[in-house]
Amino acid sequence: MPVQARSKTAKIDSSKYHGLSRRDLLRIYRTMYLSRRIDDREIQLKRQNKTFFQISGAGHEGVLTAAGLVLRPGHDWVYPYYRDRALCLALGVTSLEMFLQAVGAKDDPSSGGRQMPSHWGIPRLNILPRSSSTGMQYTQAVGMAEATQYFEIYPRALEEARHAPLGEHVRHKPDEIVYVSGGDGSTSEGEFFEGLNSACLRKLPILFMIEDNGWAISVPVDFQTAGGNIAKLVANYPGLFLEECDGTDPLASYAVVKRAAEYCRMRKGPALVHARVTRPYSHSLSDDEKLYKTDALRQEEAHRDPIPKFGLFLVREGIVDEKELEAIEAEVDGEVRESSDRALAAEPPAKESILVNQYSPDVDPVSSHFESAPQFSGEPRTMVEMISATLADEMARDERIVVLGEDVADCCNEEDLEFVKGKGGVFKATIGLQRRFGYGRVFNTPIAEACIVGSALGMAARGLKPVAEIQFFDYIWPAMMQLRNELSLFRWRSNGAFKSPAVIRVATGGYLTGGAIYHSQSGEVLFTHTPGIRVVMPSTALDLCGMLRTAIRCDDPVLFLEHKHLYRQPYNRSPYPGPNYTVPFGRARVVREGNDVSIITYGAVVHRAEVAAAHLEREGVSVEIIDLRSLSPFDWEAIAATVRKTNRVIVAHEDMLSWGYGAEIAALISDKLFDELDAPVRRVAAMDTFCAYQPTLEDEILPQTSDLVTAIRELLAY
């Protein structure tokens, strides 16, 4: 609170304050003070055990309130981080909405009680929902800005997005920008540099706000960032507007943020504002800064507190007197009391709501809507040929569809297309798509898997239908955080206010003769264990066509696993089934009828099971084979039917045996169908090691036809 009074206010010269009026200046003070008082009230409620977590925006209010004056609510796209309380208030989030987050109320507009407070997400204001994962927001903002560029070039896509589920939240303005923020610690994450690189490569209209309070919890910036200044590290990024400011001074911050935003609006490229702020409170109420900050340092930081500094400035400038400031503060204190009291009386979420909005309530890929009969034409095609054919038909039907990934385009330099055959992916799965639809819809990305998935999420959140490719399953791990914590959770954590129906195509599996450790991995169980994402793995060209089309037309994120050993096999080819052929998820395929024993399998093991069954048929053994095709959801009814029919079951898959996908299927059969079994459930899978390069070792490690034959004989002899 300011301590110096002025007898009366005077009419101000707004040119002294970067064009801001007296009303604007008082609004700045009120917003900053309101932000701090909400923090203080939340801290009080947490200590009274009436709320469950608190993380403050204290010390960041100056630059954030200034940014709130520059950004346009419901016009620009805003991806704030958990310190951005003042920004959200300036954009129109109410104090009541913030307290509803703090108590985890049913009517919490950001998550319905599913996320911690200060994890914003307000559709009406174009504020995207954040997670707690540090630095993940930058690549997602890249995708959001790519959507901005895309809608400017392909207006039909915008109309199609508006007619899709949640289309009421799809917006595009010609001069919109994307704002994304993070603390100084978040710039140590790889996604920050991946996102910044992509933004500069594509000249995206993104404003990166780095709020540097000097600390990443207890680690000071000098131990976090080489040289202690992120602006110096990124100063040579081409086309990047870069400026630093004192983030505790809202007027200086306003001038800098305004210049940065204008640079982005003029489509010159991205901008980065490095704001020096302070953190007068601990990282959160789970932290105690006295354990690592000296008293002298804490006192020094207190002198930089933006709220008393700005209040004193307003009084000294004669813009307001102390009594008027006290009246503003009293009004804010009353609002905070009223809002917090209303939130404390709010209804909590119902227990029955736990699974609501885990998947789309509007489009069910398991439903009969996706049942269709093939209309065959042409010569039989391989699986890999079926990918490009299916994508081509879907892209012609729906302008929202974008294909991205490493090497997916025919040629980056389109002027060279008349001289080259074109790449179209390392397996030629996307060959010819760029020639037909242009580089704007089929484009190459840097080798940055986290950015590929993160930007696909951002595009999908804006209403596009990205089909992203990860070249090899073995290299999906840099994107694991984006897949596990971000893409799969986007709808659920926002309680259905936002969605991210991206399709992630991945070449997976071994049996390559020389693929070795880093080109032969499986691991689908890690994703079937992730709620919110669909996981499918077709084993035939016909199923691939139908399931890829379902993946694109459904409204959930899909991990689409394509076994590369099956890409060009002659035994799984099919004529093209037509541009509307779809296969429902969660429906297994009966590959072969039998009576003596059942093999439940998927992927490349399906054909090995067929060979084993044909071999044993000569011995009078009748083997039934079930190809799951869809791993999450999976077809329990088909599993139960085959168990009841043969009473002996083998679950076979290519991934490692221990703690694998087959273990869950086997456990379910034992739990629910124990009385139907005449023998224990057997599993046939890979050894608990990675695939070796030498072919004889690969054959030993991966499950073979002979392993299935042996298991069947042992099971029948039980």
Residues taking part in catalysis: 519
Integer Cα distance of 649 and 674 in angstroms: 11
Integer Cα distance of 552 and 542 in angstroms: 16
Q: What is the CA radius of gyration of the chain?
A: 29
**Strand spans (E) along 184-270:** 206-212, 215-216, 219-220, 241-246
Integer Cα distance of 580 and 420 in angstroms: 32
Per-residue DSSP letters for 366-424? TSGGG------EEEEE-HHHHHHHHHHHHHHH-TTEEEEETT-SS-SSGGGGGGS----
Phi and psi torsions of 203, nearest 5°:
50, 55
Burial-class residue 236 by CB neighbours within 10 Å (0-12, 13-18, 19+).
exposed
Integer Cα distance of 537 and 545 in angstroms: 12
Burial-class residue 184 by CB neighbours within 10 Å (0-12, 13-18, 19+).
buried
- Listed in sequence order, the residues at least 6 apart from 708 whose beta carbon sits closer than 8 Å to its beta carbon are 599, 605, 608, 609, 612, 650, 652, 684
Minimal CA–CA distance to 717: which of 671, 683, 682? Answer: 682
At position 304, the amino acid (one-letter code) is R
The H or E element that residue 436 is part of is helix 433-437
Burial-class residue 570 by CB neighbours within 10 Å (0-12, 13-18, 19+).
exposed
What the block records as the tokens of 564 is 């590369």
Burial-class residue 482 by CB neighbours within 10 Å (0-12, 13-18, 19+).
buried
